[in-house]
Structure 1
Amino acid sequence: MNQFLKRSIRFFAIPIFTLIIVAACDKDMSVMLDNSATSNVGVTLIDSFTINTSTVQLANLPSAGTGNILVGKATVPQSGSVKSTSYFRIGLTSTANDIPETAKFDSITLVLRPTATPYSFGDTTKTQKIAVHQLTEALATKTATPLFPNQGLPLYANGNTIFADQMFGYNSTPIGAASFRPRMHTLDSLSIRLADAIGQDFFTRIKTGNIEVSSYDNFKQYFKGLVLVPDEENTAVVAFDDALEVRINYNYPSADGHKRTGFKTLSIIEPAFQYNNIVTDRTGTAFEELSAKKAIPTSSTAGLTYVQSGSGTVAKISFPTLKEFLQAENIAVNRAELVIETSSKTNTMYPVPSNLVLSINDQDGIPESVLPSVYSSGIQQAMLLQGAETGQNGTYTFNLMMYLQQLKSTQSYDNASFYLMANPLPTETQNREIIPPDLLTSFNTALIASENSKPKIKLNILYTKFR
Structure 2
Amino acid sequence: MNWPTSARRLASASVLSTALLFTATSCEEASDLGVELPGTNATSTEYRDFPVTASTVLQDSINTLKANSYLIGRVRDNALGTTTAKGYFNLKISPSASDTLPANVLGTNPNAQLDSVVLVMPFAPAAIYGSAASPLRVDVYPLTAPLDEQGVYNSASTAAADMAGALGTGVAARLNGTRTVRQRNDPSSSTDTSTFKLSEPNRTVRLKLNASNSLLTNVFGLLKNTSFSQSQLDAAWKGLMIQPTSNFNSAVVGFASIGSVSSAVFYYHYNKKVGTGTLKGTYSIPFGTQAAYATKANAPRYFTSIVTEPAAPFNQLQGASNSARSVPSSASGDIAYMQAGSGFVAKLEIPGLAELKQLAQPQATGGSPSIAINRAELQVQVQPSSNLLFALPANGYLYEVNANNEPLRRVFLNSRVERVILRDGLNQLGIGLTSIENNAQNLGYYQNAAAATPLAVSDVNRYYGLLMTSYVQAYVYDKLSGTTPAAFLFSPILRNSNALGLERAALDGKNIRLRVYYSKLR
Same fold, judged at TM 0.5 (above): yes
**2:3 corresponds to:** none
Residue among 174, 188, 205 paired with 1:181: 174
- How far has the Cα of 1:319 moved from its partner? 2.4
Alignment length (residue pairs): 405
Q: Does 1:317 align with 2:377?
A: no
- Give deviations 1:270-311, integer Å, cap 9, x for gaps: 54521111010113x220111344222315435332001011
1:459 corresponds to 2:518: no
Following the alignment from structure 1 to structure 2, what is the Cα–Cα distance between the partners of residues 253 and 356?
59
Does the 8 A contact of 1:331 with 1:466 survive in 2?
Answer: yes
Q: Tell me if structure 1 keeps the 8 A contact 2:91–2:300.
A: no
Shift of 1:128: 2.7
Asked if 1 retains the 8 angstrom alpha-carbon contact of 2:92 and 2:299, the reply is no
Q: 1:135 to 1:108 in 2, by over 3 A?
A: farther
Task: Determine if the alignment matches structure 1 residue 30 to structure 2 residue 28.
Answer: no
| SS in structure 1 of the partner of residue 390 of structure 2 | coil
Using a 3 Å threshold, how does the CA distance of structure 1 residues 97 and 346 change in structure 2: closer, same or farther?
Answer: farther
For the pair 1:162 / 2:164, whether they are aligned, the reply is no
Structure 2: which 5+ residue stretches go unaligned?
A: 1-18, 20-26, 96-100, 178-199, 288-292, 362-369, 409-417, 427-442
Residue 79 (structure 1) aligns with: 80
Change (3 A) 1:357 1:437: farther
1:422 to 470, 485, 492: 492
Aligned to 1:92: 93
AA of the residue aligned to 2:88 = Y
Pair 1:237 & 2:252 matched: yes
Say if 2:436 is the partner of 1:366: no
Match of 1:386 among 435, 456, 473: 456
In 2, Cα distance between equivalents of 1:127 and 1:264: 26
Instruction: Verify: 1:280 aligned to 2:343, yes or no.
Output: no
* Contact 2:136 2:175 (8 Å CA) reproduced: yes
Q: Distance in 1 between matches of 2:122 and 2:425?
A: 36
Q: Tell me by how many angstroms 1:141 deviates.
A: 6.0
| TM-score, with structure 2 as normaliser | 0.70
**Partners in 1 of 2:102 and 2:113 — Cα distance?**
17
CA contact (8 A) 2:455 2:464 kept: yes
Kindly indicate whether the alpha-carbon contact (under 8 Å) linking 1:128 and 1:234 is maintained by their aligned counterparts in 2: no
In 2, the alpha carbon distance for the partners of 1:411 and 1:331 equals: 18
What whole-Å deviation, never above 9, does each CA across 1:102-154 have from its counterpart, x for those lacking one?
A: 23323232333334564111122223312222222432366xxxxxxxxxxxx
Q: Is the 8 A contact 1:62 1:161 kept in 2?
A: no
Inter-CA distance 227–32: structure 2 relative to 1 (3 Å threshold): closer
1:164–1:277 Cα contact (<8 Å) kept: yes
Where 1:102 maps in the other structure, the secondary structure is coil
Q: Measure the CA separation in 2 of the matches of 1:447 and 1:346.
A: 6
Distance 1:296 1:32, change over 3 A: closer
Cα distance in structure 2, aligned partners of 1:414 and 1:222: 55
Give the Cα–Cα distance (whole angstroms) in 1 for the partners of residues 372 and 225 of structure 2: 80
Equivalent position SS for 2:317: coil
Is the 2:452–2:466 contact (alpha carbons within 8 Å) kept by the matching residues of 1? yes
Distance 1:125 1:119, change over 3 A: same
Residue 136 and residue 33 in structure 1: after superposition, are their counterparts in 2 closer, same or farther (change >3 A)?
Answer: closer
Pick which of 364-373 and 274-283 moved more.
364-373
Letter in 1 for 2:216: G
- Which amino acid in the other structure matches residue 279 of structure 2? R
Contact 2:136 2:172 in 1 (8 A): yes
Distance 2:494 2:104 in 1: 44
The range that moved more, 195-204 or 100-109, is 100-109
What is the aligned partner in structure 2 of residue 12 from structure 1? none
In structure 2, what residue type is equivalent to 1:448?
L
CA distance in 2, matches of 1:356, 1:251: 52
Distance 1:271 1:122 in 2: 30
CA contact (8 A) 2:65 2:154 kept: yes
> What does 1:395-414 align with in structure 2 at a 5 Å threshold?
395-407=463-475, 408-412=477-481, 414=484
Which residue is equivalent to 1:190? Answer: 205
* Cα distance, 1:208 vs structure 2: 4.0
* 1:4 alignment partner in structure 2: none
CA contact 2:262–2:286 (8 Å) conserved in 1: yes
Q: Does the 8 Å contact 1:170/1:227 carry over to 2?
A: yes
2:517 pairs with 1:447? no
Q: How far, CA to CA, are the matches of 1:375 and 1:81 in structure 2?
A: 41
Structure 1 residues 252 and 115: alpha-carbon distance in aligned structure 2, compared to 1, 3 A threshold: same
TM-score computed with the length of structure 1 as normaliser: 0.77
In structure 2, give the amino acid aligned to 1:183: N
Are 2:355 and 1:327 equivalent residues in the alignment? no
CA-based RMSD of the aligned residues comes to 3.1
Equivalent residue runs for 1:245-260 within 5 Å:
245-254=263-272, 255-260=274-279
Q: Give me the whole-angstrom Cα distance separating, in 2, the residues matched to 1:114 and 1:208.
A: 30
Name the SS for the 1:113 alignment partner: strand
Change in Cα spacing, 1:349 to 1:55, as seen in structure 2 (3 Å) is closer
2:253 maps to amino acid? V
Asked whether the 8 Å contact 2:173–2:206 carries over to 1, the reply is no
Measure how far apart 1:63 and its partner are: 0.8
1:102 corresponds in structure 2 to 110
Give the partner amino acid of 2:371. I
Is the 1:344–1:446 Cα contact (8 Å) retained in structure 2? no
What whole-Å deviation, never above 9, does each CA across 1:339-366 have from its counterpart, x for those lacking one? 1011154862321112211123356522
Aligned-pair CA distance for 1:69: 2.3
Alignment-mate amino acid for residue 29 of structure 1: G
Give the corresponding residue for 1:157.
none
* Alpha-carbon distance in 2 for matches of 1:457, 1:241: 34
Rounded to whole Å, the distance in 1 between the matches of 2:392 and 2:316 is 24
Q: For 2:252 and 2:384, how far apart are their aligned partners in 1?
A: 18
Q: Distance in 1 between matches of 2:452 and 2:398?
A: 9
C-alpha separation in 1, matches of 2:123 and 2:173: 17
Q: Residue in 1 aligned with 2:222?
A: 205
Identical pairs, percent: 20
2:167 maps to amino acid: I
Moved more, 181-190 or 271-280: 181-190
Which secondary structure does the structure 1 equivalent of 2:201 belong to? coil
1:305-346 CA deviation, whole Å, 9 max, x = no partner? 200101121111232452342232411111111110111548
Residue 369 of structure 1 and its aligned partner are, at CA, apart by 3.2
The verdict on how the C-alpha distance between 1:53 and 1:340 changes in structure 2, with shifts beyond 3 A counting, is same
Cα offset for 1:247? 1.6
Kept in 2, the 8 Å contact 1:116–1:241? The answer is yes
Give the residue type in structure 2 aligned to 1:239: G
* 1:44 alignment partner in structure 2: 46
Take 2:92 and 2:171, find their aligned partners in 1: how far apart are those partners? 22
Query: Counterpart in 2 of 1:133?
Result: 141
Instruction: Give the Å deviation of 1:466.
Output: 2.8
